Amino acid sequence: MIVAEHINKYYGKLHVLKDVSLTVARGEVVVIIGPSGSGKSTFLRCLNYLETIDDGYITMEGQPIGKKKLSDGRLVDDSRKNIYRLRSRIGMVFQRFNLFPHQTALQNVMEGPLTVTKIPVAEAKARSLALLAKVGLADKADAYPVQLSGGQQQRVAIARALAMQPQVMLFDEPTSALDPELVGEVLEVIKDLAREGMTMVVVTHEMGFAREVADRVIFMNDGCILEEARPQEIFTNPAHPRTKEFLSKIL
């Protein structure tokens, strides 16, 4: 579904992603773990072109992301329009929710379908209400983000991303900004998505969650993928000493 090959990215002199390659199959749940500053967020943001990459290439279902193949095989920057269309097929959920504060929960969820896909209002509303019900917030449709708890806000944010009917969902530490007692309700929603077969890339420090839903766990360190394995293997018998050290600190 998503293929990233030899991604390199620099912030000025800082080499944040070093030759990162990753393939995500349809329906697969990939969890990325790693210490702070290792480039997890940056990598995720490259996948939907919120960040540009300096080298390498990314494809989604065979289509290059942010680049376009010319007839002679050269890659050039894609048109803005194609990038926008591509982003609309990739859902993203942020650590700090980023709900639109001037809109109600329902309006937040409807915003994408109305502004981007431009479907009729009635249809957008029906779809959005169904999604709010799915994340357990049918009764909060008319609440503004400030009137919601962190866990509720994040669930609205998930519904907002789902409203675009994405083929892939990217989660960047979706529970890191939440009080401990609110983490569970958000993870439940993500687990449901996994059960439904949604393709997902999840950056998280929730190891229990990773163990339960991940098909594969990736350990990133200092801009590199150091190790990738099935959760049982990586948690019980990590191959790399750096992984072992990281896990011993976090578990």
Ligand X SMILES: Nc1ncnc2c1ncn2[C@@H]1O[C@H](COP(=O)(O)OP(=O)(O)OP(=O)(O)O)[C@@H](O)[C@H]1O
Which residues contact ligand X by CB under 6 A?
A: 11, 14, 16, 34, 36-42
Q: Does 59 bind another protein (CB under 8 A)?
A: no
Among another protein, Mg ion, ligand X, none, the one that 85 touches (CB under a kind-dependent 5 to 8 A) is another protein
| Cβ-based nearer residue to ligand X, 68 or 205 | 205
- Measured from the CB atom, the residue of 1 and 224 that comes closer to ligand X is 224
Residue closer to Mg ion, measured from CB, 41 or 153: 41
Beta strands in 28-146 (DSSP E): 29-33, 55-60, 63-64, 67-69, 75-77, 90-93
Computed from CA positions of residues 124, 129, 132, 133, in that sequence, does the dihedral angle turn out positive or negative? Answer: negative
What CA–CA distance (Å, rounded) separates 231 from 28?
A: 13
Quick check: 191 and 218 in contact, CB under 8 A? no
Using CB under 5 A, pick the residue from 41, 104, 153, 154 that binds Mg ion: 41
Write down the least CB distance from residue 66 to another protein, Å. Answer: 13
- Under rule CB under 8 A, residue 165 binds another protein: no
37 binds, among another protein, ligand X, Mg ion, none (CB under 5 to 8 A by kind): ligand X
205: CB partners within 8 A, 6+ apart? 33, 173, 176, 250
Nearer to Mg ion, 41 or 199 (CB): 41
**Three-state secondary structure of 171-199:** EECCCCCCCHHHHHHHHHHHHHHHHCCCE
Shortest Å distance, C-beta 37 to Mg ion: 8
The residue (of 35 and 64) whose beta carbon lies closer to Mg ion is 35
Residues that bind Mg ion (CB under 5 A): 41
